[in-house]
Amino acid sequence: MSPEQAQTIFEDTRQRFAGAADDTRLLQYLVDIQHRYHFIPPPAIEALQQILHLTRAQIESVIDFYSFLHSDQAIRYRILFSNNITDRWAGSAAMMQRLTVALHGCEDAGIALTACSGLCDQGPSMLINGRAIGRLTPSRIDDIAALILSGVELEDWPESLFMIDNVIQRSDRQLALSCQPAAALRRAIELGPDLILQTLNESGLRGRGGAGFATATKWSLCRQASADQRFIVCNADEGEPGTFKDRLLLAQYADSVIEGMTIAALTVSARRGFIYLRGEYRFLLEPLQADLQRRREQGLLGSAILGQAGFDFDIEIHLGAGAYICGEESALIESLEGKRGIPRIRPPFPVTHGYLGQPTIVNNVETLFSVERILQKGAKWFSEIGTEQSRSSRLISISGDCEEPGVYEYPFGVSLRQIVQDCGGSDAQAVQMAGAAGTTVLARDFDRCLSFEDLATGGSFMVIGKQRSLLDMLQNFAWFFRHESCGFCTPCRIGNHLLPELLQRFAEAQATGHDLRQLKDIAETMHRSSFCGLGSSAPTALSDALEQSPEIFTAGMASSSDNPAFDLSAATREYRTITETESW
């Protein structure tokens, strides 16, 4: 980079951000810079240091944390293949191989793997400079290679490549209901905060992120907390491998979600809200911005909403940048504040000490969507289906070995057998519930039910066909967690680092009894002592397999010996190479 170029970047960066310099927007600035220059050039960092009064190390540590940000060099086309297990089953490795061969020697392109990109119902998929491309086929790969080799700007690529389908395979009462902008909001204004909370309470709505905390309770706690400001955050960091129903909601039901946020703001007197949109869903940014703008123009956002003096609320969208941990609500808040996404100590919880230390409601996209439904149709309408502890219905994202992947809405209490049958997964040996961190349910247990009482899910439902290797799936999950552990606490940072190598011994049929014991011990330690849910649930599928499917491990064992596997010939290879080299 010439001094002139550097100077230009420095000035440009300063001008773009100096006006409203706000260090909580650091990540947003970095995302923008990355997008603009295909990396974060050093002069841009210097400019940010100057206008935000941050140290170089503080800025670089944020860059280093997010996998979509790079400070090393500009690469014009950064290609990330989604490495979710469903993408692999759909043949992503061959696609990646094909593109790698086609682009061999091309310095403009970099190819790597990333975690689930949320297109499991239309995999294999990839991201190129953050834009998603699904339904990869050899011919689409060849098209992409040709475009890159001829240096066509991404903006000029055919739109057909970037088409994303939003497939609803089964609707129940929530999806079937159309959104009538402002209907629910008007109702909420009529009711006022106390009755809104009462309605939510009667509806039995529980958070759809996975933990299932009662929404009314969360909102009440936030409302009761004494504070100067309160915030509403929509958690659209849908990172659980295999889930994509939030993507569908944001694409087709954005008004409902935004209205749910607005109702939350009304209830707790919040003036600002955020949609934390995962970087992989960058293609939703512009449509969502348009939705927000439209609602502002309709008087549904901004000041004096629907003419109510003092009801002021607006929403901004923050983009994530490739960090699964940011789906954890306290890590998400750190990220919203422009920092590395490291979970916070709890208590205190975000509901009393969240964004900027103020009470903050963090709700899943689907939860906010349901809020709008409830306010539109009433608590009774919502709660009359479902089970005792799990009222109403929920959305699940079905992918993997089934004929009809897509989003399904089911009343709680539905059996797995029913779901598997509906989606055409007749050959399933098991279902992976709730993503890589979830539980593996074998076919023999398909009578179990979808509900908080039995099998909770964040929305991911991956069907595992009989032809699939469970060990391969575990290795894929281990790769995922090694990639996504934030590194804060000991068991998660180190445990997740060690597991892939151990599993590899089983894959190579070299493992021993010692290795098996070690797998169990590491999983147990991570489960018992990790700081947050990522670490404690990372070994869930592994533990399930150890308990339910011991045969997949015994098949990978060379002996039941207490001695660990050790490959002597691998360990002496370097010496032989050295001593056989004549050039010394």
Q: Identify which of residues 67 and 97 has a Cβ nearer to another protein in the complex.
A: 67
Among 72, 307, 309, 584, binds another protein (CB under 8 A): 584
Q: How far apart are CA 463 and CA 353, in angstroms?
A: 39
Among 7, 15, 61, 137, binds another protein (CB under 8 A): 61
Contact by Cβ (8 Å): 409, 422:
no
**Stretch touching another protein by CB under 8 A, among 151-159, 186-194, 259-267, 489-497:** 489-497
- Minimum CB separation of residue 24 from another protein in Å reads 17
DSSP-based three-state secondary structure for 409: strand
- Minimum CB separation of residue 211 from another protein in Å reads 16
Q: How far apart are CA 256 and CA 264, in angstroms?
A: 12
Q: Establish if 538 lies at the interface with another protein (CB under 8 A).
A: no
Q: Establish if 521 lies at the interface with another protein (CB under 8 A).
A: yes
Q: How far apart are CA 181 and CA 185, in angstroms?
A: 8
Q: Identify which of residues 178 and 561 has a Cβ nearer to another protein in the complex.
A: 561
Parallel, antiparallel or unpaired: strands 428-433 and 460-465: antiparallel
Q: Identify which of residues 63 and 474 has a Cβ nearer to another protein in the complex.
A: 63
Among 139, 160, 571, 582, binds another protein (CB under 8 A): 571
- Minimum CB separation of residue 323 from another protein in Å reads 7
Among 24, 67, 129, 201, binds another protein (CB under 8 A): 67
Among 76, 135, 296, 514, binds another protein (CB under 8 A): 514
- Minimum CB separation of residue 240 from another protein in Å reads 18
Q: Which residues contact 364 (CB under 8 A, 6 or more apart)?
A: 207, 208, 209, 234, 235, 246
Q: How far apart are CA 110 and CA 76, in angstroms?
A: 8
C-alpha distances in angstroms, 418 versus 173, 427, 461? Answer: 18, 13, 13
- Minimum CB separation of residue 115 from another protein in Å reads 12
Q: For the stretch 561-584, what's the b/e string if a residue is b when 16 or more beta carbons lie within 10 angstroms of its beta carbon? A: eeeebeeeeeeeeeeeeeeeeeee
Q: Establish if 72 lies at the interface with another protein (CB under 8 A).
A: no
> What number of other Cβ atoms are within 10 A of residue 186's Cβ?
14
Q: Which residues contact 95 (CB under 8 A, 6 or more apart)?
A: 81, 124, 126, 136, 137, 138, 141
Among positions 243-302, residues that touch another protein (CB under 8 A) are none
- Minimum CB separation of residue 57 from another protein in Å reads 4
- Minimum CB separation of residue 44 from another protein in Å reads 15
Q: Give the residue ranges of DSSP H helices in 130-178.
A: 138-149, 173-176
Q: Establish if 457 lies at the interface with another protein (CB under 8 A).
A: no
Q: Establish if 57 lies at the interface with another protein (CB under 8 A).
A: yes
Q: Identify which of residues 457 and 530 has a Cβ nearer to another protein in the complex.
A: 530
Q: Establish if 490 lies at the interface with another protein (CB under 8 A).
A: yes
Among 91, 302, 424, 564, binds another protein (CB under 8 A): 564
Q: Establish if 497 lies at the interface with another protein (CB under 8 A).
A: yes
Tokens representing 52 are 């935000």
**Stretch touching another protein by CB under 8 A, among 99-107, 395-403, 441-449, 477-485:** 477-485
Among positions 329-348, residues that touch another protein (CB under 8 A) are 340, 345-347
Residues in the chain: 584
What backbone phi and psi angles, to 5 degrees, belong to 395? Answer: -95, 140
Q: Establish if 211 lies at the interface with another protein (CB under 8 A).
A: no
Q: How far apart are CA 531 and CA 345, in angstroms?
A: 8
Q: Establish if 583 lies at the interface with another protein (CB under 8 A).
A: no
Q: Establish if 530 lies at the interface with another protein (CB under 8 A).
A: yes
Q: Establish if 531 lies at the interface with another protein (CB under 8 A).
A: yes
385 exposure class (CB count in 10 Å sphere: 0-12, 13-18, 19+): middle
Q: How far apart are CA 117 and CA 242, in angstroms?
A: 9
Q: Establish if 466 lies at the interface with another protein (CB under 8 A).
A: no
Q: Identify which of residues 389 and 490 has a Cβ nearer to another protein in the complex.
A: 490
Q: Give the residue ranges of DSSP H helices in 339-385.
A: 365-377, 379-383
Kindly tell me the sign of the dihedral angle through the C-alpha atoms of 187, 190, 195, 196.
positive
Q: How far apart are CA 181 and CA 263, in angstroms?
A: 12
Among 12, 23, 60, 445, binds another protein (CB under 8 A): 60
Taking CB under 8 A as the rule, which mask of x and - marks residues 543-562 in contact with another protein? ------------------xx
Q: How far apart are CA 119 and CA 281, in angstroms?
A: 10
Parallel, antiparallel or unpaired: strands 428-433 and 314-319: unpaired
Q: Establish if 508 lies at the interface with another protein (CB under 8 A).
A: no
Q: Identify which of residues 310 and 584 has a Cβ nearer to another protein in the complex.
A: 584
Task: Identify any residues that bridge with 110 across adjacent strands, giving them in sequence order.
Answer: 78
Q: Establish if 529 lies at the interface with another protein (CB under 8 A).
A: yes
Give residues in contact with another protein (CB under 8 A): 55-58, 60-61, 64-65, 67, 323, 340, 345-347, 482-491, 493-498, 501, 514, 518, 521-522, 524-525, 528-531, 561-564, 566, 568, 570-576, 578-579, 584
